[in-house]
Structure 1
Amino acid sequence: MTKLSLGAHPYMLGFEQLERLLERSAKSGNEGYPPFNIEQTSANSYRITLAVAGFGEDDLSVAVEDRQLVIRGRQSDDTEERIFLHRGIAARQFQRSFVLADGVEVGTAVMENGLLHVDLTRAEPETVVQTIRIEKGSKS
């Protein structure tokens, strides 16, 4: 049995870009750090929350790149001045990427108690009905 891809399915026309987005998302290298939640806050809005304890606002960046929400964290290295007897809190950099559907816009990003909240909204799509005129073919 042949496995059909989304872009090759006979009833799914023009979805090749969606298939590429899914492949890119799977290969984005997102590990388990930092942990995050995604919640639906209303019918057309979402909130992504990342646990970024130890990071300050200046250590984080939030950007939209090629229809992806990209959140990066990089802490400054001040460990040369400090002597650790035990170091259990990782100070590593990270990058988290989330593919955004058409019509999803990034709103605000807020730091609160070691959590970074990023709010997203989705525009309500219009229902469009288009009637196509059928023309008579020419006789040869």
Structure 2
Amino acid sequence: MGFIRLVARLVVLGLIIGVVAKIVPGVEVHGGFFTLLWLAVLFSVVNAILGPIFFLFGLPLVLLTFGLFLLVINAGLLAITAGLSSHLDIDGFWDALFAGLLISIFSWLAEMLLPLREHSKQRGVGSASENSASF
């Protein structure tokens, strides 16, 4: 992922966190744009490091609830982010759950509407890149 694309994704996530803080009464952000950008970076790091671990341990519940437990995992990651930063306050579990749900929905919408991800290119039949070994 290119640097510009990464920054764009973080800016969009920061704006989403700001919008969610305005919608959910129990979620409050203390600061402006750069605070939102910092929270986006922090949430991304927490999600990248702890997300797979939480998913692995919660996999049976994720399967039993047909994926709904992922909302609880996301709420937990958001609560950890709030615990690590003095700029984000979340009043309780239900506020974290609702905020996590909205962040997931808005992030999904942003991915659909904005070209922030690189899409894999289709290879032509018999092209040289198909004939080379890739591992």
Could you state the TM-score of these two structures normalised by the residue count of structure 1?
A: 0.25
Q: Larger relative contact order (C-alpha < 8 A, sep ≥ 6)?
A: 2
Could you state the TM-score of these two structures normalised by the residue count of structure 2?
A: 0.26
Larger % of strand: which? 1
Q: Which has the larger Rg?
A: 1
